[in-house]
């Protein structure tokens, strides 16, 4: 086979199918972005107008001026940040214990954290709602953040264990011989080494919490409504204005998509450990 034929074959059998798959994967999202910058006149005609007749920021302006979207956006930011802080502050010590100690009940707890990650949301959400109502935590940041720890904690623990396991125990022991206490060892030796893993886990928890809909819908109200729930409510409120909804969708999806692309390579390791939730 000549070099020319080889190139042609690769184009036809590999690059073209990859291109088709990518178009399938990306087109719906690109369509959302295009819709968000099209004038309303373009959105109500059929046959469909694919390329905008002009690019407009009208939908974004309307979101800013006429809706609560940006305060919802800030709510989501606060909730997702809170979920990261709560999730990691309890998961780092737990993952460290699983990785470094042998203790009675270790496997049981470890399996437990795996199993609870598989529980259906509907199983937990009903009693959680009743509980939060009793505690007066409905429509508070704390309420939603705690709701999100149902997935952030088990996920973070499993993810972090694999990062801790990758650090040789010899390093801990060397530090102890040098006279460091257990906490000093963790703070000065182990944590700096697993920082990339902690960041990856933090970003993934952030994304999951930011994207989450069901807990947010059940546990929030007018005061702390996150952006996913708000957008869904706009559908009823504004007799389906696709431009406005798409603009909102773009502002919700873009930041997390970029974050996701940033961590995806390092995520695969944790993925194959099976800890990631959809």
Partner 1 sequence: MLPMTRQKLLPYSFLLPALAITGVVIIYPVFQTLLLSVQNYVLYAPDEARYIGLQNFQKLLKDEVFWISLSHSVIWVTSIVLFQLLLGLGSALLLNQSFWWRGLARALVIVPWALPSVIIGLIWTWIYDYNVGVLNDLLLRAHLIDQPVAWLSHPQTSFAAIMLTLVWQGFPFFAVMILAGLQTVPQELYEAARIDGATAFRQFWHVTLPSIAGIMATAVLLRIIWVANSLDIILVMTGGGPGYATYTLPLYAFLRAYSEMEFGYAAALALVMTVLLLGIVFLYVRRQAKELA
Segment 212-231, which members bind partner 1 (CB under 8 A)?
212-214, 218, 228-229, 231
Site for partner 1 in 174-213 (CB under 8 A): 182, 207, 210-213
Cα dihedral 73→76→82→88 (10° resolution):
-120
Query: Within 84-103, which residues bind partner 1 (CB under 8 A)?
Result: 86, 89-91, 93-94, 96-98, 100-101, 103
Q: Does 271 bind partner 1 (CB under 8 A)?
A: yes
End-to-end CA distance of the chain: give it in Å, rounded.
Answer: 45
CA distance 244 to 233: 12
Among the listed residues 8, 9, 18, 171, the single contact to partner 1 using CB under 8 A: 18
DSSP one-letter code for 201: H
Q: CA torsion sign, 71 to 76 to 79 to 80?
A: negative
For partner 1, the closer CB: 29 or 141: 29
Q: Which of residues 117-136 bind partner 1 (CB under 8 A)?
A: 118-128, 130-131
Structural tokens at position 165: 């396991």
CB of 142 vs partner 1, minimal distance in Å: 12
Which residue's entry shows tokens 């204005």?
A: 241
Q: How far is the CB of 198 from partner 1 (least distance, A)?
A: 15
CA distance 123 to 125: 6
Q: Interface with partner 1 includes 35 (CB under 8 A)?
A: yes
Q: How far is the CB of 273 from partner 1 (least distance, A)?
A: 8
Q: Judged by CB under 8 A, which stretch of 11-19, 55-63, 66-74, 169-177 contacts partner 1?
A: 11-19
How many CB atoms are closer than 10 A to CB 2?
7
Return the CA Rg of the chain: 24
Which positions from 39 through 68 interact with partner 1, judged by CB under 8 A? 43-48
| Binding of partner 1 by 261 (CB under 8 A) | yes
The 8-class DSSP code of residue 278 comes to -
């Amino acid at each position: 086979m000549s070099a020319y034929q080889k190139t042609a074959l690769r184009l036809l059998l590999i690059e073209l199918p990859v291109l088709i798959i990518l178009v399938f994967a990306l087109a719906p999202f690109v369509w959302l972005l295009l819709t968000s910058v099209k004038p309303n006149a373009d959105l109500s005609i059929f046959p469909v107008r694919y390329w905008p007749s002009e690019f407009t920021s009208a939908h974004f302006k309307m979101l800013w001026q006429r809706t609560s979207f940006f305060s919802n956006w800030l709510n989501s930011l606060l909730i997702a940040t809170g979920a990261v802080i709560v999730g990691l502050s309890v998961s780092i010590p737990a993952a460290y214990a699983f990785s470094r100690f042998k203790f009675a009940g270790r496997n049981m707890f470890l399996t437990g954290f795996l199993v609870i990650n598989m529980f259906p949301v509907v199983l937990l959400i009903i009693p959680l709602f009743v509980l939060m109502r009793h505690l007066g935590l409905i429509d508070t940041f704390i309420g939603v953040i705690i709701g999100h720890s149902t997935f952030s904690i088990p996920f973070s623990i499993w993810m972090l264990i694999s990062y801790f396991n990758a650090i040789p125990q010899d390093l801990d022991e060397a530090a102890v011989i040098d006279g460091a206490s257990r906490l000093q060892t963790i703070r000065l030796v182990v944590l700096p080494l697993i920082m990339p893993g902690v960041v990856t886990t933090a970003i993934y928890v952030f994304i999951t919490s930011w994207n989450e809909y069901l807990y947010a819908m059940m546990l929030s109200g007018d005061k702390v409504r996150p952006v996913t729930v708000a957008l869904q409510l706009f559908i009823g409120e504004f007799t389906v204005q696709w431009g406005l909804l798409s603009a909102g969708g773009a502002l919700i999806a873009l930041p997390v998509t970029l974050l996701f692309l940033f961590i995806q390579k390092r995520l695969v390791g944790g993925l194959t450990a099976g800890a990631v939730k959809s």
